[in-house]
Structure 1
């Protein structure tokens, strides 16, 4: 005696296939603009990696010596601290990322800052934007100015990966 096989009824399969075909239509779009916007949104999601925050490290005196970072500069220390996280000079700015000193070229089309430094510096992967309050920073020494300011480090898609307010100190 044969054991009966359980087959999916052919009628049910035909009905499901017909429903799928009706749902799909003939392939023509009902709204090409809406479809294009949807495709663009999907592409943008896949083409834009997520923002990856960075953690700049303190630039030590040993880093300054090793990389010959002497001369006129404006240094940034986050918060109320004194640990320098960024140094801006007339031609270049420097940050320490992943244990390495990274160099940024001065954007000489940006706003002028004290002692020949600039408000923007551009690097291979990131750009630095320095902001100071309107007006002159307070004098706190013979050849030095110090004021509250902020920096933003932006990725290649102009998205902030590091933002901090602290003290900008310029001197020679």
Structure 2
């Protein structure tokens, strides 16, 4: 009889311990899930970038013609970004990157737009002189490049030239 009571007691204790194990496992699983979700939602550090000079041969290679607005390099000789009605271009790591227009953004001269979007970056080009009413020619402005997390990775106040090419 003592053996039966002892066995029943062990079974009861094992059952209680099993509940603790289930609770511990559930807590561990919840913690692991939270860690995975946190890791998935982490953003990589923002990487500052500097658009490279767009050369005349780059323009010819991509057949970039027509009316455009171009962000001048501080030297005043070359461009850092080109905007047209249907696309914009910046040069990163030796490659021209094409961006599509956000036609909901304010329009600028020659049918260009204030904002252009791409897979990894977006470009905002804002004329600060005459707020979009600039006649063809040059005026002051600003370029802003944002990464895919909408973080600013480049900003420059410089001259923007709008002309027929």
Do the aligned partners of 1:78 and 1:165 also contact (CA within 8 Å) in 2? Answer: no
Q: Aligned pair 1:72/2:67, yes or no?
A: yes
Cα distance in 2 for residues equivalent to 1:85 and 1:68? 17
Cα distance in 2 for residues equivalent to 1:165 and 1:45? 36
Q: CA RMSD in A?
A: 2.3
Deviation at 1:145, TM superposition (A): 2.0
Q: Aligned pair 1:154/2:146, yes or no?
A: yes
Cα 1:149/1:113, change in 2 over 3 Å:
same
Helix, strand or coil at the partner of 2:79: coil
Helix, strand or coil at the partner of 1:161: strand
Helix, strand or coil at the partner of 2:150: coil
Larger helix fraction of residues: 2
The CA deviation string for residues 93-122 of structure 1, in whole angstroms up to 9 with x for no partner, is 001110011000000000011110000000
Deviation at 1:147, TM superposition (A): 0.5
Runs of 4 or more consecutive aligned structure 1 residues displaced over 2 Å after TM superposition? 42-46, 78-82, 134-137
Alignment of 1:36-115 (within 5 A): 43=38, 47-79=42-74, 81-115=76-110
Deviation at 1:134, TM superposition (A): 5.6
The CA deviation string for residues 34-71 of structure 1, in whole angstroms up to 9 with x for no partner, is xxxxx79x938971111101121111011111111111
Do the aligned partners of 1:80 and 1:166 also contact (CA within 8 Å) in 2? Answer: no
**Which residue pairs with 2:161 in the alignment?**
169
Cα distance in 2 for residues equivalent to 1:134 and 1:99? 31
Q: Which moved more, 1:103-112 or 1:72-81?
A: 72-81
Normalising by structure 1, we get a TM-score of 0.69
User: Where in structure 2 are there 5+ consecutive unaligned residues?
Assistant: 1-23, 25-33
Q: Which moved more, 1:99-108 or 1:74-83?
A: 74-83
Do the aligned partners of 2:144 and 2:152 also contact (CA within 8 Å) in 1? Answer: yes
